[in-house]
Amino acid sequence: MVKGFLFLLFTIPAVLYAQVWDFGIPEKLAKNINTEYEEAFPLLTPDGKTLYFTRVLYPGNRGGKFSGADAWVSSFDESRQTWGPASNTKAVENDNGTNAVIGIDAKGQTLYLMNTSANKKASGIYFMKKLSGGWSKPELIPIEGLDPLGFLSFYVSPDFEVIFISMKGQDSRGEEDLYVSFKKSSGEWTKPKNLGSSVNTTGFEISPFLSADKKRLYFSSNGHKGFGDADIFYCDRLYNTWDTWSAPRNLGEKLNTKKFDAYFSVYGDSLAYFSSNRDSNYADLYKIKLLPGNEVLAFGQRYLTSNEIARVLGAQVSRRIVFDDNTAALTAPQKELLFFIANKLIENDAINIQLSVVEENNAALSEARLNAVASQLKSNGVDNIRILLTNNERVKKISKSQGTIEILLYK
């Protein structure tokens, strides 16, 4: 398996507002895509008709087997309902280094590329635009302060406002960490910022992918608790910031295995692609159907029973916050209840909180109410990473603009 792409030192690799998913059975893509060598980093165009991916250790790469990775592309064959033969000579100009498509704009007219080698220090990414006669030549997009020490990979959001970077930097916690860079009003990019200890570990965090609503980050890690080698996780931006993230959650054993699972990307509300070496020495590309799901806890976590909650809190107390019509304001008694719960949980730091919408009429109001309860708990001393927000899409609808937030405890 290949966890990332090498450059500089080597040339080859030695608030949950988003939907909670369950998964179907993973389906390996056909031989036009998968070979006996390594396939990774699948990205679909917005129309779903073109698939970009990388091949590594492949004799047919531009520079041969040991040159790095080539970017490959395949078009969907509607008549046969399968992916057609892949090419490494169409669209992307591969060279003797490592080449990969790392983002596609919302119209499918711009490709964002990684192009690295052992002989040059990476200073940014590249882009190509689709023209009437083909694709433009790659042009550099500098990223201020980009200073990777080994493996390097990227993901560029379709709106070209956010770039996620997996690299080992000067302030990394171990192996590769995840970083984020933002486009300034001037058009330049900010110095990559480490996502912090709630996301990054002493292991590696690689293959970032941002959801379409830009609230959820998928990635792969061997540093968080999982089923074996690298597992695929997700975390969510909290409080509408890029500085605070929920604790990463494992996507479960239907997707993850004892081997290497990574490069997860989601398309719409029904399909995802990823890379895994679950049944071979090298990774292949898979697709998997997305199904509605209820499980939101991380691997190995569980909800506390009513009796366990009573022991933690020292009493049987109401754990539902019912809001008045058309407001996200907490009443004084509700603030007192949250103060009581927060103080009990400060004494039990192994216990976490899930805030869940159980009755709602207005999605925006529900989000504001979730944030109001979370902010109150935070102001009472509960750490951000201990608060999980879930806006369940299958909640009970009520006729008025009332709403109920339920407080669940888990460990």
Task: Please indicate, yes or no, whether residues 231 and 362 belong to a single structural domain of this protein.
Answer: no
Q: Which of 269, 263, 253 is nearest to 284 (CA)?
A: 263
Say how far apart CA 271 and CA 289 lie, in whole Å.
5
3-state secondary structure of 308: helix
pLDDT of residue 292 exceeding 80, the answer is no
Kindly state whether residues 208 and 277 are assigned to the same domain.
yes
Give the pLDDT of residue 222: 96
d(CA 389, CA 17): 7
Distance CA 300, CA 298 (A): 6
Residue pLDDT, tens place only, 177-204: 999 999 999 999 999 999 999 999 999 9
Q: Would residue 326 count as lying in a domain?
A: yes
Tell me, what CATH number does 366's domain have?
A: 3.30.1330.60
Q: Which of 24-38, 182-196, 386-400 has the lowest mean pLDDT?
A: 386-400
Distance CA 400, CA 165 (A): 45
With cut-offs at 50, 70 and 90, classify the pLDDT of residue 12.
very low
Domains: count for the chain: 2
Average pLDDT over residues 73-101: 93
Q: Given this model, what pLDDT does residue 72 score?
A: 98
pLDDT of residue 19: 53
Do 274 and 360 lie in one domain? The reply is: no
Per residue in 352-385, pLDDT tens? 998 888 766 677 888 888 889 999 999 999 988 7
- Dump pLDDT digits (tens) for 96-138: 999 999 999 999 999 999 998 877 789 999 999 999 888 999 9
State how far the Cα of 263 lies from the Cα of 53, in Å rounded to an integer: 10
Q: What is the mean pLDDT of residues 162-179?
A: 96
Q: Give residue-wise pLDDT tens across range 217-239.
A: 999 999 998 998 999 999 988 87
Distance from the Cα of residue 300 to its chain's centroid: 20
What's the pTM value of the predicted model, to 2 decimals? 0.79
Last residue in a domain, options 240, 269, 292: 292
Higher per-residue confidence, 388 vs 338: 338
Q: What pLDDT score does 399 carry?
A: 47
Find the CATH number of the domain harbouring 271: 2.120.10.30
Asked if residue 26 is part of any domain, the answer here is yes
* Three-class secondary structure of residue 302 per DSSP: coil
- Which pLDDT score, from 0 to 100, does residue 341 have? 93
Say if residue 247 is in the same domain as residue 312. no
- Pick the range with the lowest mean pLDDT from 1-10, 22-31, 215-224, 358-367: 1-10
Distance CA(274)–CA(291), nearest Å, equals 16
- Whether the predicted pLDDT of 158 surpasses 90: yes
Closest CA to 127 of 159, 152, 151, 101: 101
Percentage of residues of the chain with pLDDT beyond 70? 90
Q: Please report which confidence band the pLDDT of residue 10 belongs to, taking 50, 70 and 90 as the band edges.
A: very low
173 and 29 within one domain: yes
Please indicate, yes or no, if residue 5 is contained in any of the structural domains: no
CA distances from 217 to 16, 156, 374, 400, 411 (A): 11, 12, 20, 34, 22
187 shares its domain with 160? yes
**Domain ranges, residue 118:** 21-292
Which among 357, 261, 346 is positioned nearest to 16, based on CA atoms? Answer: 357
* Domain limit, last residue, from 292, 315, 341: 292
Number of residues written out for the chain = 411
Residue 252 pLDDT exceeds 70: yes
Which contacts (CB < 8 Å, 24+ apart) does range 256-261 have? 256/226, 256/227, 256/228, 256/231, 256/232, 257/227, 257/228, 258/227, 258/228, 258/229, 259/1, 259/228, 259/229, 260/1, 260/3, 260/229, 260/230, 261/220, 261/229, 261/230, 261/231, 261/232
pLDDT band at 327 (very low <50, low <70, confident <90, very high): confident
Residues 133 and 171 in one domain: yes
What is the predicted pLDDT for the residue at 247? 83
Any domain includes 37: yes
User: Residue 269: what pLDDT?
Assistant: 84
Least trusted range by pLDDT, from 31-35, 137-141, 320-324: 320-324
Q: Are residues 321 and 225 located together in one domain of the fold?
A: no
Q: Are residues 284 and 358 in the same domain?
A: no
Q: Read off the pLDDT of each residue in 42-63 and give the average, rounded to a whole number.
A: 96
**Do the beta carbons of residue 219 and residue 232 sit within 8 Å?**
yes
Average pLDDT, the chain: 88
Statement to judge: residues 271 and 314 lie in one domain: no
- Residue 249 phi/psi, 5-degree rounding, is -125, 135
E strand or H helix at 221: strand 216-221
Question: 43, 55, 63: which is closest to 2 by C-alpha?
Answer: 55
8 Å CB contact between 220 and 203: no
Q: Do 202 and 331 sit in the same domain of this protein?
A: no
Higher pLDDT, 134 or 160: 160
Q: What is the pLDDT of residue 306?
A: 86
Strand, helix or coil for residue 167: strand
